[in-house]
């Protein structure tokens, strides 16, 4: 199989990390945010990621154009609902997109998945303040509501397809402390969705990230953690591929 091509419409903050992540796990990226290229890029891709971290002014038009072209050839679509609930604009864009398209996977931190499922408290920014009591129920509710695989990251990651529920734990808290790792996880999930079912792809991405963070936890500090984490992820990804 040739390298799967992932079209990542993503944020300006962690785009590099997400491209690195897809490359070291055996895929290739196209990351354009030009509306003029969205349809062609989505028509060419094996999976589409939409990450709403830094939505442009024409976000809805851009996401729609890509989602329409990806859906037309049944490419799996992953929605990373970054910052959902933070602003009216972003929340409305996400809500409309979800009304119009069916995603293979929806992911977010507890605050974001909470906002998607009607929680009353809005997140302050794109990060999640603290543990949510009912994260497992939130992931299941999200999966049921949007008829997809859904996961909620946090102290434990909770994953569901509305029927089967999983919890992933372990790893290092430095993973949460490193900006953009949740976004990289979304990109890895999209890559795996190119060649395995959405629930399996999500579970694989969540487990690989936790395991790689464990290896990297011996780093001297938070920035060398980042480098060690990517090295460990590449190594684990290669080992898993050989074993298949
Ligand atoms: N307490 C924790 N211990 C270990 N790993 C964690 C913990 N909290 C989150 N993670 C892991 O950190 C990664 C990012 O999750 P997080 O919930 O911080 O996402 P996020 O808020 O979307 O991140 P970002 O916005 O920085 O991309 C995931 O792989 C998740 O499994
Ligand atoms: C800080 C930040 N703001 C929008 S996206 C992003 C990266 C982590 O989600």
Any bridge partners for residue 168, and if so which? Answer: 157
pTM of this structure: 0.96
CA gap 64, 136 in Å, rounded: 30
Burial class (CB in 10 A: 0-12, 13-18, 19+), 133: exposed
The binding site comprises 31, 107, 153, 180
CA gap 66, 40 in Å, rounded: 8
The CATH number of residue 190's host domain is 3.40.1190.20
> Quick one: which H or E segment has residue 229?
helix 222-243
Tell me if 81 CB under 6 Å of ligand 1: no
Instruction: Give the confidence band of 166 by pLDDT, cuts at 50, 70, 90.
Output: very high
Q: Using the mean position of ligand 2's atoms as its centre, give its distance from the Cα of residue 242 in Å.
A: 34
Q: Give 10-50 pLDDT, tens digit per residue.
A: 999 999 999 999 999 999 999 999 999 999 999 999 999 99
* Interface pTM, i.e. ipTM: 0.98
Atom of ligand 2 nearest to the CA of 54: 4
CA gap 64, 70 in Å, rounded: 10
> Which-ligand-closest: CA of 110?
1
Q: Which domain holds residue 131?
A: 5-243
The binding site for substrate comprises 31, 180
**Residue that has been written with the tokens 């060419």 in this structure:** 44
pLDDT value at residue 8? 98
pLDDT value at residue 134? 85
Q: How many other C-beta atoms are found inside a 10 Å radius of the C-beta of residue 57? A: 8
Give how many domains the chain has, as a whole number: 1
The binding site for ATP comprises 107, 153
Which DSSP state fits 7? Answer: E
What would the two tokens of residue 42 be? 């989505």
Q: Give 105-115 pLDDT, tens digit per residue.
A: 999 999 999 99
Instruction: Give the confidence band of 241 by pLDDT, cuts at 50, 70, 90.
Output: confident
Tell me if 170 CB under 6 Å of ligand 1: no
Atom of ligand 2 nearest to the CA of 53: 5
pLDDT value at residue 169? 97
- Write the residue with the smallest CA distance to atom 5 of ligand 1: 173
Q: Using the mean position of ligand 2's atoms as its centre, give its distance from the Cα of residue 101 in Å.
A: 24
| Phi-psi domain of 129 (left: phi exceeds 0; alpha: psi -120 through 50; beta: other) | alpha
Q: Give 167-189 pLDDT, tens digit per residue.
A: 999 999 999 999 999 999 999 99
Atom of ligand 1 nearest to the CA of 155: 1
Q: What are the CB-based long-range contacts (under 8 Å, 24+) for 216-221?
A: 216/172, 216/174, 217/171, 217/172, 217/174, 219/174
């Amino acid at each position: 199989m040739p390298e799967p091509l992932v079209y990542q419409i993503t944020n300006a903050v962690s785009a590099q990390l997400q491209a690195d992540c897809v490359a070291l796990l055996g895929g290739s990226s196209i990351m354009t945010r030009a509306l003029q290229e969205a349809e062609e890029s989505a028509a060419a891709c094996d999976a589409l990621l939409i990450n709403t971290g830094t939505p442009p002014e024409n976000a809805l038009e851009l996401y729609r154009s890509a989602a329409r072209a990806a859906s037309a050839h049944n490419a799996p679509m992953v929605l990373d609902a970054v910052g959902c609930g933070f602003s009216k604009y972003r929340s409305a864009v996400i809500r409309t997109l979800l009304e119009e398209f069916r995603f293979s996977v929806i992911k977010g931190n507890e605050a974001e998945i909470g906002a998607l499922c009607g929680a009353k408290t809005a997140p302050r920014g794109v990060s999640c303040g603290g543990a949510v009591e009912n994260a497992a129920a939130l992931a299941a509710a999200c999966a049921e509501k949007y008829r997809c695989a859904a996961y909620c990251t946090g102290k434990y990651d909770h994953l569901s397809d509305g029927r089967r529920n999983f919890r992933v734990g372990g790893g290092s808290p430095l993973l949460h402390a490193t900006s953009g790792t949740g976004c990289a996880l979304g990109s890895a999930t999209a890559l795996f969705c190119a060649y395995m079912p959405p629930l399996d792809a999500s579970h694989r991405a969540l487990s690989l990230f936790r395991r790689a963070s464990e290896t990297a936890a011996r780093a001297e500090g938070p920035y060398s953690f980042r480098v060690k984490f990517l090295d460990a992820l590449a190594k684990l990804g290669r080992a898993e591929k050989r074993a298949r």
